[in-house]
Amino acid sequence: MKRLFFISLSSLFIIGCSVLDTLPAPKTYGLTPVLIKKPSNKILPNLIQCIEPSLKEKYPAASLTLTMENLYEGKIPGTDPDSPIATFDIFAKTGTFQGYVSLYQKEPVNPAITAIFTDCL
C-alpha cells in the first residue's frame, strides 16, 4: 500500500513539473504564417528592452504585456480591433534566461514588422 502511494505521489510530481514548463498557446487570431519561432542569444529582459522601443516607434498602438512570469504577449492592432495585423509572444522557459520569440502576421506579410524582431534576436 505504501509503495502504491509513493508511486502515485512520484507520478503527480513528474506531471506537475512538466506542466510548469508548458506555456499557454499564443493568441494568434488565426494569423499565419509563423515567421519567427526561435531562441534569441539575449536574456529575456534585454530582448524586451530591444523590441519594445523599436516596436512603439513604428507602431505606437502596439501592446506588449507581461501576462505571467517570463511570458510577454503583444499585438499590433489593425483597422479592426478584433483583427490585429500581428501578434507575438516573448518568453523564457522555466530555469533558463534565454528569450524565445514567436511572431504571427496577417498576409501580406509586412517586412518592417519582421525586421524589428529579427534585428533584436
Cβ neighbours around 39 below 10 Å, total: 14
Query: What is the model's pLDDT at position 1?
Result: 53
Residue 87, SS3 per DSSP: strand
Closest C-alpha among 72, 61, 69 to residue 101 = 72
pLDDT digits (tens, 9 = 90+) for 53-112: 999 999 999 999 999 988 999 999 988 878 899 999 998 877 777 888 889 988 888 899
Distance CA 77, CA 59 (A): 9
CA gap 78, 37 in Å, rounded: 22
Q: Which three cell numbers stand for residue 107?
A: 498576409
Global pTM?
A: 0.69
Q: Cβ distance 26 to 89 under 8 Å?
A: yes
